Amino acid sequence: MKNILHSMLLVCTLIGLSACGALGGFGAMKTGTQISQEQMDEINSKSKQADVVAIVGQPNRKTQVGAKEIWYYDFSQIGQAIIGKNINETTVFEFDSKGMVTAHYKTGGTPSNNSNPLLKAAGVQ
């Protein structure tokens, strides 16, 4: 009887942890492309557009401002960590006319036109 009670308690604990995302983001709702600090560190002023694609993949969107080309990687996640903090960020890469990285940084996310009701409910969109 005691073993059954312990087993039930363990199962309930695991369900609770997975529901709030405490198990490494398990069960978290994610959209977009998340770019880690390690990936950001791999990219420098000698990197080309092909290098960025090889490291992080194709961008979610691109714009042209004068001679600069700007790539955006949007990322949103709800249900992350024990404290329930949501993530909404955009990683930006700027390129000169020769396709070389001139700047890269993270900003607050840009709301998308995604119709995902979970993201809207979390205030991510």
- Using CA atoms, how far apart are residues 5 and 108, in angstroms rounded to an integer? 46
Residue 1 located in a structural domain: no
Which 3 state secondary structure label does DSSP give 88?
A: strand
Residue 58 located in a structural domain: yes
Amino acid at 103: A
Count structural domains, the chain.
1
Per the rule left: phi > 0, alpha: psi between -120 and 50, beta: everything else, 60 is alpha
Residue 21 located in a structural domain: no
pLDDT digit string (tens) for 88-113? Answer: 899 999 999 999 999 999 998 655 55
Residue 50 located in a structural domain: yes
Mean pLDDT on 41-53: 95
H or E element, residue 42:
helix 37-42
Task: Return the half-sphere exposure (C-beta side, CA atoms, 13 A cut-off) of residue 106.
Answer: 13
- In this structure, how many other beta carbons lie within 10 angstroms of the beta carbon of residue 115? 8
Residue 68 located in a structural domain: yes
Residue 65 located in a structural domain: yes
Q: Tell me the pTM.
A: 0.66
Residue 63 located in a structural domain: yes
What CATH number has the domain bearing residue 112?
Answer: 3.30.1450.10
Mean pLDDT on 23-52: 85
CA 37 to chain centre: 11
What mean pLDDT is reported for the chain? 79
Domain that holds residue 94: 28-121
Residue 86 located in a structural domain: yes
